[in-house]
Amino acid sequence: MRIKAINPNTTLEMTENIGKVADKYTSDEVEVVAVSPERGPISIESYYDDYLAIPGLLEEIRKDEGDFDAFINACWGDPGIDACREVTEKPVVGIAEGSMYVANMLGATFSVATILPRAKDLIEETVLTTGLASKCASVRCTDLTVVETETARDAAVEALLEASTLAVEEDGAEAICLGCAGMGGLDEELEKELPVPVIDSVGAAAVLAEGLVRLGKSTSKVMTYRPPEPKEIKGYPDVYQFTEPAPSADD
Amino acid sequence: MRIKAINPNTTLEMTENIGKVADKYTSDEVEVVAVSPERGPISIESYYDDYLAIPGLLEEIRKDEGDFDAFINACWGDPGIDACREVTEKPVVGIAEGSMYVANMLGATFSVATILPRAKDLIEETVLTTGLASKCASVRCTDLTVVETETARDAAVEALLEASTLAVEEDGAEAICLGCAGMGGLDEELEKELPVPVIDSVGAAAVLAEGLVRLGKSTSKVMTYRPPEPKEIKGYPDVYQFTEPAPSADD
Amino acid sequence: MRIKAINPNTTLEMTENIGKVADKYTSDEVEVVAVSPERGPISIESYYDDYLAIPGLLEEIRKDEGDFDAFINACWGDPGIDACREVTEKPVVGIAEGSMYVANMLGATFSVATILPRAKDLIEETVLTTGLASKCASVRCTDLTVVETETARDAAVEALLEASTLAVEEDGAEAICLGCAGMGGLDEELEKELPVPVIDSVGAAAVLAEGLVRLGKSTSKVMTYRPPEPKEIKGYPDVYQFTEPAPSADD
Amino acid sequence: MRIKAINPNTTLEMTENIGKVADKYTSDEVEVVAVSPERGPISIESYYDDYLAIPGLLEEIRKDEGDFDAFINACWGDPGIDACREVTEKPVVGIAEGSMYVANMLGATFSVATILPRAKDLIEETVLTTGLASKCASVRCTDLTVVETETARDAAVEALLEASTLAVEEDGAEAICLGCAGMGGLDEELEKELPVPVIDSVGAAAVLAEGLVRLGKSTSKVMTYRPPEPKEIKGYPDVYQFTEPAPSADD
Amino acid sequence: MRIKAINPNTTLEMTENIGKVADKYTSDEVEVVAVSPERGPISIESYYDDYLAIPGLLEEIRKDEGDFDAFINACWGDPGIDACREVTEKPVVGIAEGSMYVANMLGATFSVATILPRAKDLIEETVLTTGLASKCASVRCTDLTVVETETARDAAVEALLEASTLAVEEDGAEAICLGCAGMGGLDEELEKELPVPVIDSVGAAAVLAEGLVRLGKSTSKVMTYRPPEPKEIKGYPDVYQFTEPAPSADD
Amino acid sequence: MRIKAINPNTTLEMTENIGKVADKYTSDEVEVVAVSPERGPISIESYYDDYLAIPGLLEEIRKDEGDFDAFINACWGDPGIDACREVTEKPVVGIAEGSMYVANMLGATFSVATILPRAKDLIEETVLTTGLASKCASVRCTDLTVVETETARDAAVEALLEASTLAVEEDGAEAICLGCAGMGGLDEELEKELPVPVIDSVGAAAVLAEGLVRLGKSTSKVMTYRPPEPKEIKGYPDVYQFTEPAPSADD
């Protein structure tokens, strides 16, 4: 079983860590390949970054889609996740949704501890569109940039500890989702200090991706996630062009 | 890794099937033990049945809790799931929640195809308290009793096909959760006839339970799922008594 | 008119108090009989307690159902209320729902002042499933156990005063529901110190139960609250067995 | 105990019927006085009618407020109910809210069967602001005017039967609220033909009003329902003027 | 293009200011006429005031409806807005809804800074029925009466500054709606001190009213906003009487 | 006043029409410039198209941002609207939000009549994130592609007529939003046949954009819509690079 974990930003240190975490939690039958697009922002902290990262992310699914059994969208915000599901029948798991499902099975409520305050709205919209707003006690931001989650691990732990403690004590959170792929691997250290489970979102997505493959399930092609309508995409390379009509549900 | 799959009703044929399905989808590292309580209704179709099944279900967790790494609550309705999480630190996965998470990753909306109309309210309340009401297109009932899902497989397939077709065509469902543990194994046959993924709820819970164990996570004990307060439970056997105070979060 | 007020826990002092309160607020035409099951926890503070209390509660309705005109489910959490409505056509009123309706007619919002923090999720789920989440300003917990609400009345008043004051001043509550049957009779003392109405939940349920009987209404048997399907309930005494099929709505 | 039932429209036949129904369901200790304002529309079918009825309704509370223990606002839509609660400390019960509470205790969902389609939005907004939208299966309108509910009883029964049947069969309603004060007394006839409880909304409000008086509760004056701020109300008679400042919550 | 801006209260200084603000922001093609009813409260601070102002407001639309192209309902609370839409086909814009739409295009969330705390529930209900509750971070009240917003401009600015600062810093508001027509013109001064856009609600409604006229749109008469049913409105002058049946949608 | 109307797809006939409509409804003081990006899909019908259109759309705002007073995002779905607001202080109005605000002022509920069924989820998510889900009666799709809305006007009218009629008759819609920029100008023809107002979404956005400029308001830069964090955007041209840190709210 081969799973492609795509880091939608272009910081390779983060990609490497994502691969390690996904590999750690999946079974021996799984081979994880972690990649970044060539084009796009070095980190995703605004809606702007988010949208500029999506074309590269989609290319990473398209270009060797036949070689993998499932894909991981490794940015909390699950950028372009709906489009990812349009361009492949293989299961696609976002680390935001994945970590929320895991958290929702471990505590009566969860909070998300994440990066800069400006991302709060993006994070909350992700929770809303995933469908779990009623279980989310709060989104707690820090002063961390995405890059700092990789390069300043001690500061990251400290900031996340503070945010998570507030989430538990003031918002009633019973589990914490780590709201950035760069935080992969910090859960264990944080659990030493916190009275609640801390979810490594990359790990959560990895075990879910493996599970979906085990179940033998494919993405629904009946309506929303049908292949994109064939048409000209001006100024984009061939890998982005869809030229054949999607089969109708009646075929 | 050992996972105990508990069928909360007392029909052993169904228990056996639950065990087979859970075993089929988990990795080789997992040993599944499927059991039923000694006491309780032979099927769960009403709130009444649901509540009378819960004490036996809880006993099944309590009595050899140390021998397992995770538990599956194998009735769509996830009866007593909150209490299950109080009595063990091991992860507990309900087949209702598990199948909804899987469905939510495969289609933009899902429906639940299930048993008798009288269970509709119970099923909808399960969707609501799990937190995914906004993603559920409909709950579609049939004339099937729980027992018939095991004993009348052809009729069950036919009834579920009709309910699922209505869910897809009239309610816009893009994935179907099979809303009864007795329907385990029917997903493949249904997918041959339906244009959408069909989720075997027992299978979904099984891969999620394995995933939670791989992540090394435990149920949150900070608040809602703390061990029950120690007190006398009159007229119940020893296995139900909690006599030691739960450690406080500060310990 | 005879109303049976069932205390789902097995602490008889509390049962006695429930009877007194229900009797105090109903008219002279009403005879209140207050009882406890023989089996079950001495107090309900967790989901675990809640579920273990329900079988005994249901037995109390079943065993002499013909002798009463209505039933009161006297635990805030309205444990098993849906199943109660399945096993009788007589109206069943929960003290949680009853107190919320009364509060909702007296103030623009209400809060629930209740016992241990661990019960907060259970209380909130009760508010949600009753349908009044949008009117509930907050659930404010104390350090009181259920038993202390009966045995330590002064401490209970003090703790509830503090919780209610926070609800009014910080959450904007305009009425307070006392969130435990053991708090019956404390409303008057609390109203002396608080600027808002305080609802004795047992009293609220009692006047509603009398009202439903006056209206001559029965529980709806068309769907959700039909009698339980006839089937074997293994290991439960005869009083729990339903052997005759429920009449269909067409009969 | 004296309860004033105010019919906000100016059709006296309807007022008389409202008085009879309220009297029928309350205990012998209750004296019901049913009145209509002198000014206002002869029926309430639009938002326009609703708002023009409110000043007269408020005057009916103000003018002999000291002579009554509670008030009933007898129009489904509970017109001006918030203002009613501002001008008296005595409990005020609307027939919309009252009937919904009763219905919510008898069935898992309820529908409202009511007058002209144009009133649907007004009725739905009443359900929403009362807080029970999640329990309301549907609002089903008929071709009945308000006046016809009094003057054409047979046609009214027939139209309500059709609307209620659709509510039960297509919307899953398990109880029916009669959505107009003019429908008082039709519940019994409808229950003969329908498989669900039918709530006479005036009757429901009457037993709730008696219940609130029995509980000894007053409307909350801490915030929203404080007496109106003293000020000049130009062009309105003295009975509408509030000249003394409301006491602060600290007094 | 002629727009009638109706101040539903009877304080003429406020009316004059409303006219100036509406005129300031509309194009040269627009003539604004600002009026007050003759009857009604001098300010709207309670539900009581709100309802007593509505008949006069409706008269102001009715009496020379043919002379105007659109109407502005200039009280935050949009009193009787549904009835306003029943009595004319011309567009009617409330300053509450108008300011919320503008705010929703400028920030990810908005708060309302408004008058006395007692109005909070009325303001929140306005947000809810307009449909934008999910975007409203908070309603922040001050100690200002409506009249003080006109007569004590410095104190008003100070109080609004404090309320808005709390909304931004504690509630995460990214735009502020000024929640009273008397606050017209204070937005510029407040924006000097606040890091977020501040919406003059009268101005917002004015540009929207002009826009609706430019679009050539009329109020929908298919259902809810049909003309009031013809009937006797006892004790009200001729201007309030509707005597001709509304044309049916089929005509 | 100069407003730039950006058609996010690359079909120039549609761009031209968008310009005409926006010009038609704005005042003489407004100069409308309608453009398309050079790169991107020729129509937006899937999430995939939507995301591939956004980079070009953002470039159109960035490249001559100083020359305009406001921007229109002319695709129903408001693609990347949050990012648009990050890259400029000038107001940005989406045609989806704009048409919904207009519809919400004209009818008690609205529906969206739009293109292919596959876009339904995207349209519903737009309604949800704009905040108006509670006012949207339905999203009614047709068999129209985006291009057909321009090239097959008669067929488009016919299909929209059918969808809108169903929305009015079955879903209770009281106003219709035309859910595609290509439908600009069809409102008048549709209103001849339909009993409800039909909103030309481009027109609605245009008058709102003019209104925001008249109000002198800028996009909130306090939090979510701050300029993107400065960082390298690999493989994107200079116009996409943000190199200077955003000023903090304290500056």
The residue of E217, E218, E248 whose CB has the most chain F CBs within 10 angstroms, and thus the best one to mutate to test that interface, is E217
Cα separation, F61 vs A48, whole angstroms = 12
* Poorest-pLDDT segment among B147-156, C62-71, C115-124: B147-156
Q: What is the arithmetic mean of pLDDT over E210-225?
A: 98
Tell me, what's the pLDDT at D243? Answer: 86
* Per-residue pLDDT tens over the stretch A25-68: 999 999 999 999 999 999 999 999 999 999 999 999 999 999 99
Residue B23: pLDDT over 50: yes
* Per-residue pLDDT tens over the stretch F98-112: 999 999 999 999 999
Tell me, what's the pLDDT at E247? Answer: 58
- Dihedral sign, CA of B62, B64, B66, B68? negative
A109 touches chain C (CB under 8 A): yes
For D121, nearest residue in chain F (alpha carbons)? F108
Q: Kindly calculate the radius of gyration of chain B based on its CA atoms and give it in whole angstroms.
A: 18
Tell me, what's the pLDDT at A206? Answer: 98
DSSP state of A11: -
F251 touches chain E (CB under 8 A): no
Structural domains in chain B, CATH included, are 2-95+204-240 (3.40.50.12500), 97-200 (3.40.50.12500)
Q: What is the arithmetic mean of pLDDT over D12-32?
A: 97
Chains A and D touch (3+ CB pairs under 8 A): no
Residue D191: pLDDT over 60: yes
Subunits with at least 3 CB pairs below 8 A relative to chain B?
Answer: A, C, D, F
For A173, nearest residue in chain C (alpha carbons)? C121
Phi-psi region of E234 (alpha: psi -120 to 50; beta: other; left: phi over 0): beta
* Per-residue pLDDT tens over the stretch D118-143: 999 999 999 999 999 999 999 999 99
Tell me, what's the pLDDT at F249? Answer: 46
- Dihedral sign, CA of F96, F100, F101, F103? positive
* Per-residue pLDDT tens over the stretch E138-188: 999 999 999 999 899 999 999 999 999 999 999 999 999 999 999 999 999
Q: Mean pLDDT for chain E?
A: 96
For E128, nearest residue in chain D (alpha carbons)? D129
F104 touches chain D (CB under 8 A): no
Q: What is the arithmetic mean of pLDDT over B104-124?
A: 98
C/E interface, count of CB pairs below 8 Å: 3
**Cross-chain Cβ contact B106/A219 below 8 Å:** yes
Q: What angle do CA E223, E228, E233 make, to 5 degrees?
A: 155
Nearest to F81 by CA among F171, F8, F168, F9: F8
Q: Which of F42, F80, F83 sits opposite A231 (nearest CB)?
A: F42
* Poorest-pLDDT segment among A55-69, A236-250, B73-87: A236-250
E46 touches chain C (CB under 8 A): no
- Dihedral sign, CA of B228, B232, B235, B241? positive
Amino acid in position D58: L
F47 touches chain B (CB under 8 A): no
**E-assigned strands of D148-225?**
176-178, 198-199
- Dihedral sign, CA of F155, F157, F163, F169? negative
Amino acid in position C118: R
Residue C247: pLDDT over 80: no
Nearest to A61 by CA among A2, A17, A4: A4
Tell me, what's the pLDDT at A247? Answer: 58
Cα separation, D184 vs E13, whole angstroms = 48
**Cross-chain Cβ contact D130/C104 below 8 Å:** yes
Cα separation, A122 vs B54, whole angstroms = 40
Task: Tell me how far the alpha carbon of residue C54 is from its chain's centroid.
Answer: 12
For D55, nearest residue in chain E (alpha carbons)? E52
**Cross-chain Cβ contact B41/C226 below 8 Å:** no
Q: What angle do CA F41, F47, F51 make, to 5 degrees?
A: 55
Indicate the length of chain E as a whole number.
251
Residue B17: pLDDT over 60: yes
Number of Cβ within a 10 Å radius of residue A143: 12
Tell me, what's the pLDDT at F250? Answer: 46
Q: Place A248 in a pLDDT band, splitting at 50, 70 and 90.
A: low
Q: What is the arithmetic mean of pLDDT over C160-164?
A: 98
Query: What percent of chain F clears pLDDT 90, i.e. is strictly above it?
Result: 96
Tell me, what's the pLDDT at F202? Answer: 98
* Per-residue pLDDT tens over the stretch F18-60: 999 999 999 999 999 999 999 999 999 999 999 999 999 999 9
Angle, helix E95-106 to helix E201-215, in steps of 10 degrees: 90
Distance from the A48 Cα atom to the nearest Cα atom in chain B, whole angstroms: 24
* Per-residue pLDDT tens over the stretch B183-208: 999 999 999 999 999 999 999 999 99
Residue D223: pLDDT over 80: yes
B111 touches chain C (CB under 8 A): no
D181 touches chain C (CB under 8 A): no
Pairing of strands B70-73, B2-6: parallel
Query: What percent of chain B clears pLDDT 70, i.e. is strictly above it?
Result: 98
Tell me, what's the pLDDT at D123? Answer: 98
Cα separation, D91 vs D210, whole angstroms = 9
**Cross-chain Cβ contact F224/A122 below 8 Å:** yes
Tell me, what's the pLDDT at C245? Answer: 72
Tell me, what's the pLDDT at C244? Answer: 77
Q: What is the arithmetic mean of pLDDT over A104-129?
A: 98
B62 touches chain C (CB under 8 A): no
Tell me, what's the pLDDT at A170? Answer: 98
D/E interface, count of CB pairs below 8 Å: 149
**Cross-chain Cβ contact F174/E92 below 8 Å:** no
In chain B, what residues touch F121 (CB-CB under 8 Å)?
Answer: 108-109
For D81, nearest residue in chain C (alpha carbons)? C105
Amino acid in position D148: E
Q: Which of F174, F215, F220 sits opposite E224 (nearest CB)?
A: F174
C108 touches chain E (CB under 8 A): yes
Nearest to C77 by CA among C7, C172, C169, C12: C7
* Per-residue pLDDT tens over the stretch E81-134: 999 999 999 999 999 999 999 999 999 999 999 999 999 999 999 999 999 999
Residues in CB range of B229: below 8 A, 6 or more apart: B242, B245, B246, C43, C45, C46, C49, C116, C118, C145
Tell me, what's the pLDDT at E139? Answer: 98
E170 touches chain C (CB under 8 A): no
Residue A244: pLDDT over 90: no
Distance from the D251 Cα atom to the nearest Cα atom in chain E, whole angstroms: 17
* Per-residue pLDDT tens over the stretch E54-85: 999 999 999 999 999 999 999 999 999 999 99
Cβ atoms of D89 and D212 closer than 8 Å:
no
Q: Mean pLDDT for chain C?
A: 96
Q: What angle do CA C189, C192, C193 make, to 5 degrees?
A: 105
Query: What percent of chain A clears pLDDT 90, i.e. is strictly above it?
Result: 96
**Cross-chain Cβ contact B46/C83 below 8 Å:** yes
Tell me, what's the pLDDT at C246? Answer: 61
**Cross-chain Cβ contact C224/D93 below 8 Å:** no
* Per-residue pLDDT tens over the stretch D75-106: 999 999 999 999 999 999 999 999 999 999 99
C106 touches chain D (CB under 8 A): yes
F121 touches chain B (CB under 8 A): yes
For E226, nearest residue in chain D (alpha carbons)? D118
**Cross-chain Cβ contact F42/A234 below 8 Å:** yes
For chain E, the three-class secondary structure string (H helix, E strand, C coil) is: CEEEEECCCCCHHHHHHHHHHHHHHCCCCCEEEEECCCCEECCCCCHHHHHHHHHHHHHHHHCCHHHCCEEEECCCCCCCHHHHHHHCCCCEEEHHHHHHHHHHHHCCCEEEECCCHHHHHHHHHHHHHHCCHHHEEEEECCCCCHHHHHHCHHHHHHHHHHHHHHHHHHHCCCCEEECCHHHCCCHHHHHHHCCCCEECHHHHHHHHHHHHHHHCCCCCCCCCCCCCCCECEECCCHHHCECCCCCCCCC
Tell me, what's the pLDDT at B251? Answer: 43
Q: Which of E122, E223, E228 sits opposite D49 (nearest CB)?
A: E228
Distance from the F117 Cα atom to the nearest Cα atom in chain B, whole angstroms: 10
Q: Place B247 in a pLDDT band, splitting at 50, 70 and 90.
A: low
